[in-house]
């Protein structure tokens, strides 16, 4: 991150720290501070608005129920690029906020090889080297970065279609639509992972905290880093405690 971006990021953290608080109780860890949650939900809302208006333009026949919500067909068409731009701006800040923990590592390459057991819930605990984000989360993040760049370039070419050649606009439509479909697929998987597949994850984006048990189960290396304790020891201790209770 450049020094200017870093300074801006630090200032934003300070400002948001004053605007909201995160209460971390006993047995919990801070996962996402206020500014991260604000950025995440701003990205999410602008993304969903772009998606809805985009689909209404893509297939007015199939998505005719969407246009009245935005004030009719022409207004939906006019709003779409603006929602898209708002998404791009918020995601740029989210990018600066997360680019460091999203760096790809050897552990992520190993995680990708074991993705099957993650999806099928074969292992009770994630591998010990999984840090703040796992390989799948990082993949989703970088897919948004690539799609975001493609959306911006092709979106501008479609918006100002009188300044470039016709064939360039035609190709832009195809790329824009493919990127949107890939993002939709990623979004569906993301919502499932953040809610039903991993109970206890959703609250991290609401009140900012997770339980220690969640941390040693899903992100053991991050648990070790922030608590200084061994995640497997913590798991064994909790297992013994539960057995004794029974």
Binding site for ligand HEM (CB under 6 A): 31, 40, 43-44, 47, 133, 137, 140-141, 144, 187, 190-191, 194-195, 201-202, 204-205
Token digits of residue 64: 């005719």
Token digits of residue 27: 């047995």
Which residue has the closest beta carbon to ligand HEM? 194
Q: Tell me how far, at minimum, the Cβ of 140 lies from ligand HEM, in Å.
A: 4
- Packing angle between helix 73-98 and helix 3-19, nearest 10 degrees? 100
* Cβ proximity to ligand HEM, 76 vs 94, nearer residue: 94
Q: Tell me how far, at minimum, the Cβ of 205 lies from ligand HEM, in Å.
A: 4
Token digits of residue 177: 């639509």
* Cβ proximity to ligand HEM, 24 vs 169, nearer residue: 24
DSSP 213-238: HHHHHH-HHHHHHHH-S-HHHHHHHH
Q: Tell me how far, at minimum, the Cβ of 200 lies from ligand HEM, in Å.
A: 9
Q: Tell me how far, at minimum, the Cβ of 43 lies from ligand HEM, in Å.
A: 5
* Cβ proximity to ligand HEM, 70 vs 90, nearer residue: 90
* Cα of 7 vs its chain's centroid, Å: 23
CB 1 within 8 A of CB 96: yes
Report the distance separating Cα 174 and Cα 169, nearest Å: 9
Q: Tell me how far, at minimum, the Cβ of 154 lies from ligand HEM, in Å.
A: 17
**β-strands 209-211, 28-30 pairing:** antiparallel
* Cβ proximity to ligand HEM, 31 vs 80, nearer residue: 31
* Cβ proximity to ligand HEM, 67 vs 204, nearer residue: 204
CB 190 within 8 A of CB 98: no
SS3 72: coil
């Amino acid at each position: 991150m450049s020094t200017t971006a870093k300074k801006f990021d630090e200032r934003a953290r300070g400002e948001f720290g004053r605007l909201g608080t995160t209460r971390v109780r006993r047995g919990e860890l801070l996962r996402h501070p206020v500014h991260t949650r604000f950025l995440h939900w701003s990205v999410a809302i602008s993304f969903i608005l772009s998606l809805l208006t985009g689909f209404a333009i893509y297939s007015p026949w199939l998505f005719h129920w969407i246009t009245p919500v935005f004030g009719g067909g022409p207004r939906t068409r006019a709003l779409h690029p603006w929602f898209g731009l708002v998404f791009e701006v918020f995601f740029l800040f989210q990018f600066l906020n997360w680019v460091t923990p999203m760096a790809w590592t050897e552990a992520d390459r190993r995680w990708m090889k074991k993705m099957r057991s993650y999806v099928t819930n074969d292992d009770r605990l994630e591998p010990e080297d999984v840090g703040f984000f796992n390989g799948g989360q990082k993949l989703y993040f970088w897919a948004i970065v690539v799609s975001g760049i493609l959306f911006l370039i092709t979106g501008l070419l479609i918006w100002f279609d009188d300044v470039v050649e016709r064939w360039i606009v035609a190709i832009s439509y195809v790329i824009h639509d493919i990127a949107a479909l890939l993002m939709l697929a990623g979004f569906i998987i993301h919502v499932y992972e953040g809610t039903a597949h991993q109970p206890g994850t959703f609250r991290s984006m609401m009140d900012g905290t997770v339980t220690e048990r969640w941390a040693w189960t899903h992100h053991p290396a991050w648990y070790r880093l922030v608590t200084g304790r061994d995640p497997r020891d913590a798991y064994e201790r909790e297992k013994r405690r539960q057995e004794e209770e029974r």
